[in-house]
């Protein structure tokens, strides 16, 4: 028995080491590439250049803004819908599940081709209607709402799964009725009772959306918006080391955000009084 | 006013309440009046409509027709959060992210009661339900019984005019259930709050309630004190649903009498048209004594502590249950020949099955 446990432990260790190597190797190689410059030896130049690199702050700022807007929009759409479905079970639950999962099976290129066609054709066909201004507004470079709407659709499957597992863990109808019985309005039920108890899954959904937006390239590139990933790829042509250094840094930032969100998600609410 | 002071309960009245779910009729014209300060148990089998009626007082369900009156005012259109009714649920319903104290203080917090007052009130209520030192614990750190006590304190925090208990003890261990049952009764009497208690456990209903309303298929079968209900059931359904009942074949002999197991007994209540009927007899009204010449035989013996239940086969193969004081049952083992006599008081009869 003890021998079997030792063997199992050895296997666990081996698998863990292999997985670690699989993840670490490209990161280490990338890091070495950014600091080891032929002819100059070890240098941190690639990292010190980042802040001053033209377009870095604009790209990062835009992507973070898009991420925040997408998180707010997708949660504002999905949370009330899923809570409503939990309170009144019926066929609508299945409809919402299918709708939220659908983006997984639509290839991003097909998705963006559709959006691109609409954004291009719309202003031509609707030039004499008020919708013309709307089409222009959603493509504003400073805050391209078209991207927020696209990312919201892409984020639906992840947000749905995360919230679904959170809602399964609590008895939504009973908690809602208990809160209503204590005098809470529907808004208070949502804000004071349901959302605090969905903290972990909300944090998970927000993080997945953030990671998706910070890493999304195809749609932004084809719709010609210079988000953070688009900027990284653009820079990689002329400043390969800088581009890899920024990628590593963005990975680090994402991990830190993950840590912050997950600790916020698991923290128990302190005494409310 | 402190929480423990006696509050004035409200009178509650159901008038011709009807509720259907698709083709299922949950309530079929329910009429019932609950006096201020009374503890009324709604008792009945699953699907009889008892929980639906309770949820209508809380505002979680709405009748297709009929009225729910509290102190004479119809509350059917009043939203659930504006009703003056505290409720304890069957499943554990404490807010998992809040401590016991914050759960109790939740209602006052919603009503914008200041922090010091609501904290004091929550602590007072927690002490009242026997949890004076558990205020800082989260629901997952409390036992099932403790959670239901906190839920009771939370339901009382807004000093409601009506307290609604939806099978609050059904998920608890037998011992905890007994203790909590007594404590709820004591609290209810002290506070004088009108209480509607839904249960399918007849023992719970009979031991706690001032009156018990027995529901069947959405209709009221009988509403009476526990003693009245047990000894003078209005219908055969109530007779069989409340307590244990034997059905023994008998024959109506006219003049309001029925012949059963060789005895003639007076008949209580309605008499079916057929001559052949089933006579309803409680096990404690079946007297069994050892008799070597007796025509009945003991089949099984079940020891229940102070009483022993015998299953006796009468001549003709009819089986009856008989409850005897355990001392009297000594020596009556399976196979023993016995003599069976029925208590002479009036019996209820039902159409033969």
For Cα atoms B102, B105, B110, give the angle at the middle one, nearest 5 degrees. 115
Cβ–Cβ contact A177 with B under 8 A:
yes
Q: What is the pLDDT along chain A (273 residues), one digit of tens a residue?
A: 566 688 899 999 999 999 999 999 999 999 999 998 888 888 888 888 888 888 888 998 999 999 999 999 999 999 999 999 999 877 888 999 999 999 988 888 888 888 888 887 776 777 777 777 777 788 888 889 999 999 999 999 999 999 999 999 999 999 999 999 999 999 999 999 999 999 889 988 998 899 899 889 988 988 889 999 998 888 888 888 888 998 898 888 888 877 877 776 665 444 444
For the stretch B152-171, pLDDT in tens is 999 999 999 999 999 999 88
**What whole-number percentage of chain B has pLDDT above 90?**
71
CA atoms within 13 A on the CB side of B116: 0
For position A73, what pLDDT does the model report?
Answer: 97
Across the interface, do B101 and A188 touch by the CB < 8 Å criterion? Answer: no
For the stretch B215-271, pLDDT in tens is 999 999 999 999 999 988 888 899 889 988 999 999 998 888 899 888 899 988 777
Three-state SS for chain B is CCCCCCCCCCCEEEEEEEEEECCEEEEEEEEEEECCCCEEEEECCCCCCHHHHHHHHHCCCCCCEEEEEECCEECCCCCHHHCCEEEECCCCCCCCCCCHHHHHCHHHHHCCCCHHHHHHHHHHHHHHCCCCCCCCCCHHHCCHHHHHHHHHHHHHCCCCCEEEEECCCCCCCHHHHHHHHHHHHHHHHHHCCEEEEEECCHHHHHHHCCEEEEEECCEEEEEECHHHHHHCCCCHHHHHHCCCCEEEEEEEEECCEEEECCEEEEEECCCCCCCEEEEEECHHHEEEEECCCCCEEEEEEEECCCEEEEEEECCCCCEEEEEEECCCCCCCCCCCEEEEEECCCCEEEEECC
pLDDT-based confidence at B3, cuts 50/70/90? very low
For the stretch B42-93, pLDDT in tens is 999 998 999 999 999 999 999 999 999 999 999 999 999 999 899 999 988 9
Chain A residue numbers with beta carbons less than 8 Å from the beta carbon of B88 are none
How are beta strands B162-166 and B194-199 bridged, if at all?
parallel
Q: What is the DSSP string of A57-93?
A: HHHHHHHHHHHHHHHHHHHHHHHHHHHHHHHS-SHHH
Is the pLDDT at B187 greater than 80, yes or no? yes
Task: Kindly report the pTM of this predicted structure.
Answer: 0.82
pLDDT-based confidence at B8, cuts 50/70/90? low
Cβ–Cβ contact A183 with B under 8 A:
yes
Residue showing tokens 């003049």: B255
Across the interface, do B119 and A177 touch by the CB < 8 Å criterion? Answer: no
For position A264, what pLDDT does the model report?
Answer: 67
For position A272, what pLDDT does the model report?
Answer: 41
Q: Residue A181 is nearest to which of B86, B91, B102, comparing CB atoms?
A: B86
Q: Report ipTM (2 d.p.).
A: 0.86
Cβ–Cβ contact B82 with A under 8 A:
yes
């Amino acid at each position: 028995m003890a021998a079997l446990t030792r063997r199992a432990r050895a296997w666990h260790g081996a698998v863990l080491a292999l997985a670690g190597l699989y993840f670490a190797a490209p990161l280490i190689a990338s890091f070495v590439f950014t600091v080891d410059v032929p002819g100059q030896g070890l240098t941190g130049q690639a990292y010190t250049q980042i802040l001053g690199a033209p377009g870095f702050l604009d790209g990062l700022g835009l992507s973070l803004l898009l991420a925040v807007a997408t998180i707010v929009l997708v949660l504002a759409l999905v949370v009330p819908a899923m809570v409503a479905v939990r309170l009144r079970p019926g066929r609508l639950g299945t409809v919402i599940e299918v709708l939220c999962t659908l983006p997984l099976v639509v290839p991003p290129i097909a998705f963006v081709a559709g959006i691109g066609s609409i954004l291009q054709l719309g202003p031509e066909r609707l030039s004499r209607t008020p919708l013309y201004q709307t089409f222009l507004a959603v493509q504003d470079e400073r805050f391209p709402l078209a991207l927020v709407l696209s990312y919201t659709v892409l984020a639906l499957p992840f947000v749905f799964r995360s919230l679904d597992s959170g809602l399964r863990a609590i008895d939504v109808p009973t908690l809602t009725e208990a809160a209503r019985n204590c005098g809470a309005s529907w808004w208070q039920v949502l804000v004071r009772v349901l959302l605090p108890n969905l903290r972990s899954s909300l944090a998970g959904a927000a993080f997945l959306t953030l990671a998706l937006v910070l890493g999304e390239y195809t749609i932004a590139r084809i719709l010609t918006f210079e988000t953070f990933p688009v900027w990284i790829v653009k820079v990689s042509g002329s400043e390969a080391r800088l581009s890899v250094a920024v990628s590593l840094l963005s990975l680090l930032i994402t991990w830190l955000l993950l840590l912050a969100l997950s600790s916020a998600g698991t923290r128990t609410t302190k005494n409310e009084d | 006013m402190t929480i423990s002071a006696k509050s004035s309960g409200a009178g509650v009245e159901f008038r011709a309440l009807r509720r259907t779910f698709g083709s299922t009729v949950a309530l079929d014209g329910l009429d019932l009046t609950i006096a201020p300060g009374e503890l009324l148990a709604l008792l009945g089998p699953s699907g009889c409509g008892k929980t639906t009626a309770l949820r209508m007082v809380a505002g979680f369900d709405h009748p297709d027709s009929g009225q729910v009156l509290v102190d004479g005012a119809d509350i059917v259109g009043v939203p659930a959060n504006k009703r003056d009714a505290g409720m304890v649920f069957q499943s554990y319903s404490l807010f998992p992210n809040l401590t016991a104290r914050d759960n109790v203080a939740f209602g006052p917090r919603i009503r914008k009661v200041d922090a010091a007052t609501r904290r004091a009130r929550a602590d007072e209520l927690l002490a009242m339900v026997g949890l004076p030192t558990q205020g800082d614990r989260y629901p997952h750190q409390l036992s099932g019984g403790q959670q239901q006590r906190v839920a009771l304190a939370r339901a009382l925090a807004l000093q409601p005019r009506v307290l609604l208990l939806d099978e609050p003890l059904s998920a608890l261990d037998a011992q905890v259930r007994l203790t909590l049952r007594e404590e709820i009764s004591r609290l209810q009497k002290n506070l004088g709050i009108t209480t509607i208690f839904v249960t399918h456990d007849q023992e719970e209903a009979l031991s706690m309630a001032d009156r018990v309303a027995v529901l069947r298929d959405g209709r009221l079968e009988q509403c009476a004190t526990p003693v009245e209900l047990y000894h003078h059931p209005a219908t055969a359904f109530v007779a069989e649903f409340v307590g244990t009942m034997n059905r023994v074949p008998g024959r109506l002999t006219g003049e309001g009498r029925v012949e059963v197991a060789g005895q003639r007994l007076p008949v209580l209540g309605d008499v079916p048209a057929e001559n052949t009927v089933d006579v309803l007899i409680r096990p404690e009204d079946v007297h069994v004594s050892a008799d070597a010449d007796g025509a009945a035989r003991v089949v099984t013996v079940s020891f229940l502590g102070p009483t022993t239940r015998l299953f006796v086969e009468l001549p003709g193969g009819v089986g009856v249950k008989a409850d005897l004081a355990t001392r009297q049952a000594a020596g009556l083992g399976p196979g023993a020949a016995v003599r069976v006599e029925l208590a002479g008081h009036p019996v209820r009869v039902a159409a033969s099955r």
